[in-house]
């Protein structure tokens, strides 16, 4: 028996909550909930906190809890170090300084830890997936938004206020003509290369509102506009990765998210832009690897938070 045996891990998204009982990286059983966090918008801070705690408590109790050592939670927000205190959550603005882990621990009478969801994905990928064996790892979550998680010397890096690795908000274009991002700024890589941005950009170019998966299929079938958008998105991604490598000098990057289904188009363009934007001694030295855990990266990483 190792120290990861029998924990409950939770992966909290904007529209659903997933919980699993996990032993040494093996998902034993799981439950999924629809969780519409938009209902939180009209609640006070206290009401929203109680709603989240109640939802999580009820979900945990659907799983068998005998011999469970505790609960690890991946949550979309900024946590102060390893305190389990949520400093802020971009999607639930009324939450601030919310002692999520401590409050849930009191309700469940067992240890609870919580950490940023993209950082959990990085921990999962480094422990069980494509990042295994790499003490330093940059993990990028390529979904409706773009997130990042960083492991330095086998330690998750959170920054001074839990806001490190806001990878999606690295700038890849400049000026007033650059695309508007959900964060309110212009030119962020998320505004060019996220799933949402790829659909929007293809719609602007081709007048067809469809999914990145369909855009990829069109590209494979010879549609030049679809290929152009995917190529452009992956070049922007490579440019943003180069900024991170220029500062961090780490050699291994993993990428998860539905978009890696288009890896055969993404990969060569990511590498071209990455190498074009690195200082010469680093060119050709960086490995960019697709996730092997995909949707499970976050929940498996959350299962390691109690170690």
Residues that bind a second copy (CB under 8 A): 78, 88, 90, 136, 148, 150, 152, 157-167, 169-174, 183-185, 239, 242-244, 246-251, 276-282, 285
Nearest residue (CB) to a second copy, 172 versus 306: 172
Nearest residue (CB) to a second copy, 134 versus 304: 134
Q: How far apart are CA 281 and CA 145, in angstroms?
A: 32
Nearest residue (CB) to a second copy, 222 versus 280: 280
DSSP 171: B
Nearest residue (CB) to a second copy, 4 versus 116: 116
29: nearest Cα among 38, 21, 39 = 21
Q: In the bound complex, what is the minimum distance in angstroms from residue 171's beta carbon to a second copy?
A: 6
Q: In the bound complex, what is the minimum distance in angstroms from residue 150's beta carbon to a second copy?
A: 8
Q: In the bound complex, what is the minimum distance in angstroms from residue 307's beta carbon to a second copy?
A: 20
Q: In the bound complex, what is the minimum distance in angstroms from residue 81's beta carbon to a second copy?
A: 11
User: What backbone torsions phi and psi does residue 290 show, to the nearest 5 degrees?
Assistant: -70, 145
Q: How far apart are CA 33 and CA 52, in angstroms?
A: 13
What beta strand segments (E) does the chain contain?
7-12, 16-23, 26-34, 71-75, 78-79, 86-88, 96-98, 112-116, 137-142, 146-152, 155-157, 252-256, 287-290
DSSP 78: E
CB 288 within 8 Å of CB 244 = no
Nearest residue (CB) to a second copy, 133 versus 280: 280
């Amino acid at each position: 028996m190792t120290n990861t045996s029998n924990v409950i891990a939770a992966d909290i998204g904007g529209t659903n909550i997933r919980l699993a009982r996990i032993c040494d990286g093996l998902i034993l059983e799981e439950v999924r909930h629809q969780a519409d966090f938009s209902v939180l918008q009209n609640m006070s801070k206290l009401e929203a906190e109680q709603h989240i705690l109640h939802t999580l408590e009820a979900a945990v109790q659907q799983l068998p809890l005998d011999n469970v050592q505790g609960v690890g939670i991946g949550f979309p927000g900024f946590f102060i170090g390893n305190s389990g205190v949520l400093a802020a959550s971009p999607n639930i603005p009324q939450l601030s300084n919310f002692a999520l882990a401590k409050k849930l621990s009191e309700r469940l009478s067992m240890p609870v830890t919580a950490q940023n969801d993209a950082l959990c994905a990085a921990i999962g990928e480094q422990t069980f997936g494509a990042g295994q064996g790499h003490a330093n790892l940059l993990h990028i979550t390529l979904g409706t938004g773009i997130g990042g998680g960083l492991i330095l010397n086998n330690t998750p890096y959170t920054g001074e206020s839990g806001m490190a690795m806001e990878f999606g908000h690295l700038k890849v274009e400049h000026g007033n003509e650059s695309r508007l991002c959900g964060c309110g700024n212009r030119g962020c890589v998320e505004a060019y290369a996220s799933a949402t941005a790829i659909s929007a950009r293809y719609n602007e170019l081709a007048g067809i509102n469809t999914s990145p998966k369909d855009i990829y299929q069109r590209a494979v079938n010879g549609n030049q506009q679809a290929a152009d958008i995917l190529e452009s998105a992956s070049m922007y991604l490579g440019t943003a990765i180069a900024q991170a490598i220029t500062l961090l000098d780490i050699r291994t990057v993993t990428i998860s998210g539905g978009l890696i289904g288009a890896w055969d188009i993404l990969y060569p363009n990511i590498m071209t832009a990455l190498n074009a934007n690195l200082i010469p001694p680093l060119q050709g030295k960086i490995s960019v690897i697709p996730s092997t855990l995909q949707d499970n990266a976050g929940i498996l990483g959350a299962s390691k938070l109690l170690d």
